[in-house]
């Protein structure tokens, strides 16, 4: 195989590759390619050389395009591989509303665009999409303004410090918010960039507390033997012993499994040739032998074994690997779960995720409407007083009827007195109806009450004060008689006057009801924090009886009743 450990300089990297092709022996495969720029150029030209390439460190999403890079494979998951894992996490906590915050770099933009496609059709709303170049504060502020609680971030370590400083300033941290960001940052990454920000270390750490990082798993956590006969833990111990003081790379397990992929691919190719064409061997391969090239390509696609990085399976050349979730807890990252892309399963380690509140954050501000009701004790007191008033009125009515033939009672016009008492009792009855709200009756019944109580109060008022007006008018009519002639005005005439006043009332009420009837309307007030301290906001609402031209109708009624009162 041709092992590629090329520089990230395009010119030097390509020269090294083409020199190896031109002057070296025929290579069966290409193993390697780390930098995206060099790797993508080489991978695009492999079809012409009839070569299959396997990379262990190139994670750029661009290389997943099989039309452009049909001969390219990789043992390491691409940057886009975290997106199905994020989807699974969002579903696990029933977060259906998220926002994205992305640094204006192609690598991060590609992941964000793929995430949009992954979430599409999954009943998860991306309520706001923000991007920034150098200063993320404006974008963070917009996210808060749009009530985004679950933020999916794509940015490097330097920008992460700035983002969390802005989050602290905007109070976008704590029990109401959850940040989900890349998990490939170096250990203690913030210490390298804290001096370049205007944020105090304690404020930065407060904003960072609880964020969840998402990245591929460098080594499998399962304690079972791999294809090499070692468990991942045994391999890591041996690797560290041989590495000594040398710098460790998180890609070493993928390079190790990559060697096994190539070995098993060639083994399958040899078995296929022995079974179908005994005269041809893999040593016969050259850059124009498309038949052997196709056999290598098919054999690579059939890869399926358990390696030190987990189950090694390709889907359209992409590694279906394991994605790990870590959480920042008390100045260190703790593994809290993992996602298996092969089985499409998410495993959360028991009691490992610590949310800042008593429960996971809500994906938006939960607004709970609370009906402002009439105080039950107050309604009870007023009802009791009303009942006493009605009992007193009933006693007066009974007294008036019983003694109607006595001279003094008869002289006071008992019929008119009875009308005043009945009008008073109707007005008393309206107090019960005005106290009934949504805590006692349904919305439909409340709307009916809007009309009923208006009619009862209006008729009761006119009956009581109309009768009083009629009696006063009779006294006035008698005593204004300057000639002092005997003048008799009977109760029947007074009843006609009261009836005329009630007829005017009926005309107004019927027109009101037909033209512009009263409806139940709800008035909403500014939101208030929950008194119990829950992560919800209370929006007080109040029921009213209203119509389109309320002012006009009330003006007519008040004018008429005012004249009656005067």
Q: Residue 251 and residue 477: Cα distance in Å, rounded?
A: 111
Q: DSSP letters along 271-320, please?
A: HHHHHH-TT--GGG--TT-HHHHHHHHHHHHT-EEEETTEEEEEETTEE-
Strands of 310-315's sheet in order across = 304-307, 310-315, 318-319
Which residue is associated with the tokens 């294809």?
Answer: 227
| Over residues 127-145, mean pLDDT | 94
Co-location of 485 and 559 in the same domain: yes
Co-location of 414 and 513 in the same domain: yes
Q: Domain span at residue 550?
A: 375-565
| Over residues 137-154, mean pLDDT | 95
Task: Please give the pLDDT value at position 46.
Answer: 86
Task: Please give the pLDDT value at position 316.
Answer: 87
Residue 234 within any structural domain of the chain:
yes
CB 165 within 8 A of CB 207: yes
Pairing label, strands 72-74, 97-103:
unpaired
Q: Residue 77 and residue 254: Cα distance in Å, rounded?
A: 9
Co-location of 200 and 274 in the same domain: no
Q: Residue 202 and residue 187: Cα distance in Å, rounded?
A: 18
**pLDDT category of residue 219 using cuts at 50, 70 and 90:** very high
Q: How many CA atoms lie within 13 A of 202 on its CB side?
A: 0
Query: How many other CB atoms are there within 10 angstroms of residue 294's CB atom?
Result: 12
Beta bridge partners of 212: 180, 327
**pLDDT category of residue 339 using cuts at 50, 70 and 90:** very high
Indicate if the pLDDT at residue 87 is higher than 90.
yes
| Over residues 65-83, mean pLDDT | 93
SS3 342: coil
Residue after which a domain boundary falls, among 259, 276, 308: 308
**pLDDT category of residue 408 using cuts at 50, 70 and 90:** confident
Indicate if the pLDDT at residue 340 is higher than 80.
yes
Query: How many other CB atoms are there within 10 angstroms of residue 381's CB atom?
Result: 11
| Angle, in degrees to the nearest 10, between helices 443-479 and 414-434 | 150
CB 363 within 8 A of CB 180: no
Q: Residue 330 and residue 315: Cα distance in Å, rounded?
A: 38
| Over residues 528-532, mean pLDDT | 80
Poorest-pLDDT segment among 102-106, 290-294, 531-535, 549-553: 531-535
Nearest CA-CA partner of 344 in 108, 92, 94, 116? 92
Co-location of 293 and 348 in the same domain: no
Please state the domain count of the chain. 3
Task: Please give the pLDDT value at position 485.
Answer: 61
Co-location of 211 and 274 in the same domain: no
Q: φ and ψ at 539, to 5 degrees?
A: -110, 105
Residue 203 within any structural domain of the chain:
yes
CB 335 within 8 A of CB 326: yes
Task: Please give the pLDDT value at position 268.
Answer: 93
Residue 4 within any structural domain of the chain:
no
Task: Please give the pLDDT value at position 25.
Answer: 82
Co-location of 356 and 443 in the same domain: no
pTM, two decimal places = 0.72
Which residue is associated with the tokens 């040739």?
Answer: 273
Indicate if the pLDDT at residue 28 is higher than 90.
no
| Over residues 327-338, mean pLDDT | 93
Nearest CA-CA partner of 207 in 160, 246, 241, 148? 160
Co-location of 529 and 454 in the same domain: yes
Co-location of 100 and 118 in the same domain: yes
Residue 317 within any structural domain of the chain:
no
**What percent of the chain clears pLDDT 90, i.e. is strictly above it?**
51
| Over residues 17-21, mean pLDDT | 81
CB 269 within 8 A of CB 282: yes
Residue 2 within any structural domain of the chain:
no
Indicate if the pLDDT at residue 5 is higher than 90.
no
Co-location of 96 and 244 in the same domain: no
Task: Please give the pLDDT value at position 385.
Answer: 95
Query: How many other CB atoms are there within 10 angstroms of residue 33's CB atom?
Result: 26
Classify 309 in phi/psi space as left (phi over 0), alpha (psi -120 to 50) or beta: alpha
Q: How many CA atoms lie within 13 A of 136 on its CB side?
A: 29
Q: Residue 543 and residue 550: Cα distance in Å, rounded?
A: 15
Query: How many other CB atoms are there within 10 angstroms of residue 178's CB atom?
Result: 24
Task: Please give the pLDDT value at position 20.
Answer: 81
To the nearest 10°, the Cα dihedral for 195, 200, 205, 208? -80
| Over residues 196-215, mean pLDDT | 90
Poorest-pLDDT segment among 65-79, 305-319, 360-374: 360-374
Task: Please give the pLDDT value at position 94.
Answer: 94
Mean pLDDT of the chain: 89
CB 401 within 8 A of CB 414: yes
Co-location of 192 and 329 in the same domain: yes
The H helix count followed by the E strand count for the chain is: 16, 19
Co-location of 383 and 491 in the same domain: yes
* Alpha-helical segments (H) within 3-136: 10-23, 36-49, 82-92, 106-119
Task: Please give the pLDDT value at position 16.
Answer: 79
| Over residues 239-265, mean pLDDT | 91
The tokens for 566 are 């005067």
Q: Residue 134 and residue 161: Cα distance in Å, rounded?
A: 11
Pairing label, strands 29-32, 2-4:
parallel
**pLDDT category of residue 484 using cuts at 50, 70 and 90:** low
Residue 3 within any structural domain of the chain:
no
SS3 19: helix
Q: Residue 498 and residue 198: Cα distance in Å, rounded?
A: 82
Note the pLDDT tens digit of each residue in 448-473: 898 998 999 999 999 998 888 888 88
CB 520 within 8 A of CB 446: yes
| Over residues 164-184, mean pLDDT | 94
Nearest CA-CA partner of 85 in 323, 392, 332? 323
Poorest-pLDDT segment among 142-146, 179-183, 238-242, 284-288: 284-288
| Over residues 519-534, mean pLDDT | 83
Residue 1 within any structural domain of the chain:
no
Residue 370 within any structural domain of the chain:
no
Task: Identify which has the larger pLDDT, 200 or 198.
Answer: 200
Q: Classify residue 486 by its DSSP letter.
A: -
Note the pLDDT tens digit of each residue in 370-389: 888 888 899 899 999 999 99
Residue 42 makes CB contacts below 8 A (sequence gap 6+) with: 4, 13, 14, 17, 30, 33, 53
Task: Please give the pLDDT value at position 193.
Answer: 82
| Over residues 257-268, mean pLDDT | 94
Co-location of 176 and 241 in the same domain: no
**pLDDT category of residue 486 using cuts at 50, 70 and 90:** low
Residue 297 belongs to domain with CATH number? 3.40.50.2300
């Amino acid at each position: 195989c041709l092992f590629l450990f090329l520089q990230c300089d395009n010119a030097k990297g390509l020269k090294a590759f083409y020199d190896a092709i031109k002057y070296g022996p025929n290579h069966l495969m290409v193993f390697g390619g780390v930098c995206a720029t060099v790797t993508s150029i080489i991978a695009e030209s492999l079809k012409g050389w009839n070569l299959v390439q396997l990379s262990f460190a190139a994670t750029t999403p661009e290389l997943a395009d099989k039309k452009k890079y049909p001969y390219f494979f990789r043992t390491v998951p691409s940057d886009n591989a975290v997106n199905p894992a994020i989807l699974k996490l969002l579903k696990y906590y029933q977060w259906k509303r998220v926002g994205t915050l992305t640094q204006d770099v192609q690598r991060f933009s590609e992941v964000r665009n793929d995430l949009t496609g992954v979430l599409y059709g999954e009943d998860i709303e991306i309520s706001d999409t923000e991007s920034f170049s150098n200063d993320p504060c404006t974008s963070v502020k917009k996210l808060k303004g749009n009530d985004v609680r679950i933020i999916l971030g794509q940015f490097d370590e330097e920008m992460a410090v700035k983002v969390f400083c802005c989050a602290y300033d905007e109070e976008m941290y704590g029990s109401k918010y959850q940040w989900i960001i890349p998990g490939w940052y170096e250990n203690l990454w913030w210490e390298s960039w804290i001096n370049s920000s205007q944020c105090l270390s304690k404020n930065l750490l407060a904003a960072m507390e609880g964020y969840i990082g998402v990245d591929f798993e460098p080594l499998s956590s399962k304690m079972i033997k791999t294809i090499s006969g070692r468990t991942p833990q045994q391999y890591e111990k041996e690797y560290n012993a041989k590495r000594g003081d040398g710098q460790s790379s998180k890609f070493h397990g993928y390079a190790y499994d990559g060697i096994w992929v190539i070995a098993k691919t060639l083994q399958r190719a040899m078995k296929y040739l022995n079974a179908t064409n005994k005269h041809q061997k893999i040593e016969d391969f050259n850059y124009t032998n498309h038949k052997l090239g196709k056999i290598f390509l098919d054999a690579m696609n059939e890869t399926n074994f358990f390696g030190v990085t987990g189950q090694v399976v390709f889907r359209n050349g992409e590694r279906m690997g394991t994605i790990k979730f870590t959480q920042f807890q008390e100045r260190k990252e703790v593994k809290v779960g993992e996602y298996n892309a092969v089985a499409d399963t998410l495993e959360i380690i028991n009691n490992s995720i610590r949310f800042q509140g008593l429960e996971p954050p809500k994906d938006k501000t939960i607004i709970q409407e609370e009906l402002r009701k009439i105080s039950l004790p107050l309604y009870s007191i007023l009802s009791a007083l009303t009942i006493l008033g009605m009992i007193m009125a009933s006693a007066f009515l009974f007294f008036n009827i019983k003694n109607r033939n006595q001279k003094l009672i008869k002289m006071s016009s008992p019929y008119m007195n009875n009308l005043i008492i009945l009008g008073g009792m109707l007005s008393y009855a309206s107090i019960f109806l005005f106290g009934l709200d949504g805590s006692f009756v349904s919305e439909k019944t409340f709307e009916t009450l809007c009309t009923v109580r208006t009619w009862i109060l209006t008729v009761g008022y006119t009956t009581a004060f109309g009768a009083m007006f009629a009696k006063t008018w009779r006294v006035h009519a008698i005593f204004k008689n300057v000639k002092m002639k005997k003048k008799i005005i009977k109760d029947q005439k007074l009843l006609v006057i009261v009836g005329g006043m009630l007829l005017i009332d009926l005309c107004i009420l019927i027109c009101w009801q037909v033209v512009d009837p009263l409806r139940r309307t709800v008035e909403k007030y500014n939101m208030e924090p929950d008194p119990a301290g829950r992560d919800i906001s209370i929006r007080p609402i109040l029921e009213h009886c209203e119509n389109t031209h309320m002012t006009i109708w009330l003006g007519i009624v008040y004018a008429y009743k005012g004249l009656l009162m005067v």
